[in-house]
Amino acid sequence: MTELFSVQGILALLLGGLYGAIFGAIPGLTATLAIALFIPIAFFLDPAIALPAIIAISSVAIFAGDVGSTVARIPGTPASAAYFDKLFGLSRKEGPLYALGLSAIGSAVGGIIGSLLLILTASAIVTLARQFSSFEYFWIAVLGLTAGVFASGGSTLKSLVSLLLGILFSTVGVDPTLGFPRFNFGSTQLMGGLNYIVAMIGLFGFSEVLNHLFNPGRHFDVELKTQRSARAFFIKPLLLIVKKKWLVIRSSLVGVLVGFLPGAGADIGSWVSTSLEKIRQRGKSDDVADDEIILSGTSSNNAAVASAWIPALSLGLPGDTVTAIVLGVFMMKGISPGPLLFDQQPGLIMSLYLTFIISNLLLLPFYGYLSALMAKRLIKTPMPLLLTVVTALCMVGAYAINNDVRDIWIMGGMGMLAFLLQRGGFPLAQVVLGMVLGPILEQNFMVSAIKSKWNMMSFFDRPVALILMACTLIIIVVGVRYGKRFTAGSDGS
């Protein structure tokens, strides 16, 4: 508790936030990469410094993933890929400050709701989370993928194809449940699989480079609106949030509820809630709908960041890379995570909670504003200059994930694929979603099937699993039924 307010603690928060903001904000570098590259450093730091820094990085970086979308249509996280088109459109229509303000303030509010729920209901959520077996995780993955299909503005069929391609990419490499190498065509490098961060850098970053080279001036048609900064960034989004408070609360709840899914909580939260809003908004005018879709995605992904910590802290079971590092830091410093943590280290838990609140309440708006001002400048940079730098960052970013130069080829191949997919009218974000959720879907299916000795009825036996299945069915029915009207109502680009 006290160490949080020491000079080092505050410095850790500030520097962590800055690092997250810079990495997320530069197109071509992803927020996911920022967290992955921080791992080695976290182990050398004192936990009183490392933990606040990690919380600050993950809270700010999840938001900062939106900055790239605003500047150059390059989202920085799979979560922000759910609505990057809308955000780019909004920033061209209303200016980058308003677009990022909506994203930052929405993230902050969602993050605070998520943190409060973490604090108040951690024990209840733990009980729920403990009931989750592979059947429930399987259905959550199905729900996330279904939401992904209907979250596209264009053809549902094409969006399904993109999703299937993503899942197909995720099957490359050694099969995680049975240990059999698939689709590696004799290559040892491919045996390790295709990394989704590398793919994302290629799909979004490098493909923009190719687009520009192919046909310069493709994105240069909109005149930028100038605006009073503080008002656009803080006041206007806040007013919208107050007006749409139920939407924000609803989306944050979705984020918290799916947040503890190992590996993809924040991503699924963002996709499910944007898809929910898109279906709800059908028929309304475009501008309003865009604002609200961004708001729902951005608030639910930051709410999920908090709830991803629940299983890690309370059961000692890490769900994703970030929480795995956190547990590693704990152990290196002689703190054993798990249910006893709450009794043995109340001070530590309190300071973690506090860090979550501070990160969302102060750091996010602060760094959000800074990166929005930076984005405002970046957006005026001539495209050829910006994209030259983006190319370099794409290459280094792809390499840095595994320290393997051959990953640069994969990045380039994904960029070319994206270039072609876009020309056929296929959405890109769904490819990333497929790559993230594919392994979760398959593993939990195989585990469930083997566990129940291939009795398929067991997938429908458990109450929570049934509820999740019902949600999936509702999305399918509503999505298909209103699919036509929905396509006509949006810009479909």
CB 361 to other proteins: min, Å: 28
Site for other proteins in 370-409 (CB under 8 A): 384-385, 387-389, 391-393, 395-396, 399-400, 402-406, 408-409
Rounded to whole angstroms, the Cα distance separating 121 from 490 reads 38
Closer CB to other proteins, 280 or 333, in the complex:
333
Rounded to whole angstroms, the Cα distance separating 429 from 15 reads 30
Closer CB to other proteins, 110 or 262, in the complex:
262
Which helix (H) or strand (E) segment holds residue 174: the answer is strand 173-174
Q: Does 456 bind other proteins (CB under 8 A)?
A: no
Closer CB to other proteins, 111 or 415, in the complex:
415
Which helix (H) or strand (E) segment holds residue 387: the answer is helix 383-402
Closer CB to other proteins, 229 or 345, in the complex:
345
Helix (H, G, I), strand (E, B) or coil at 264: coil
CB 27 to other proteins: min, Å: 13
Rounded to whole angstroms, the Cα distance separating 288 from 278 reads 11
Helices (H), 244-332: 245-259, 265-281, 286-307, 309-315, 321-332
**Among the listed residues 8, 121, 177, 229, the single contact to other proteins using CB under 8 A:** 177
**Among the listed residues 119, 238, 249, 324, the single contact to other proteins using CB under 8 A:** 324
- Count the residues of the shown chain that bind other proteins, applying the rule CB under 8 A: 108
CB 90 to other proteins: min, Å: 21
Single-letter code of the amino acid located at 295: L
Site for other proteins in 21-50 (CB under 8 A): 37-41, 43-44
**Among the listed residues 164, 249, 357, 361, the single contact to other proteins using CB under 8 A:** 164
Q: Does 171 bind other proteins (CB under 8 A)?
A: yes
Helix (H, G, I), strand (E, B) or coil at 82: helix
User: For 283, which DSSP code?
Assistant: T
Closer CB to other proteins, 20 or 101, in the complex:
20
Site for other proteins in 61-120 (CB under 8 A): none
Question: Can you name the residues that pair with 182 across neighbouring β-strands?
Answer: 173
Q: At what angle do helices 245-259 and 134-150 cross, to 10 degrees?
A: 140
| Spatial contact of 72 and 27, defined as CB atoms under 8 Å apart | yes
Q: Does 354 bind other proteins (CB under 8 A)?
A: no
The 10 Å Cβ neighbour count of residue 295 is: 28
**Among the listed residues 87, 105, 112, 167, the single contact to other proteins using CB under 8 A:** 167
CB 139 to other proteins: min, Å: 14
Q: Does 345 bind other proteins (CB under 8 A)?
A: no
Site for other proteins in 464-493 (CB under 8 A): 487, 492
Which helix (H) or strand (E) segment holds residue 284: the answer is none
**Among the listed residues 73, 86, 92, 212, the single contact to other proteins using CB under 8 A:** 212
Which among 124, 113, 197 is positioned nearest to 407, based on CA atoms? 197
Site for other proteins in 224-253 (CB under 8 A): none
| Spatial contact of 30 and 397, defined as CB atoms under 8 Å apart | yes
Q: Does 339 bind other proteins (CB under 8 A)?
A: yes
Q: Does 317 bind other proteins (CB under 8 A)?
A: yes
Q: Does 134 bind other proteins (CB under 8 A)?
A: yes
Q: Does 268 bind other proteins (CB under 8 A)?
A: no
Which among 419, 441, 440, 436 is positioned nearest to 428, based on CA atoms? 419
Residue with tokens 């940079």: 381
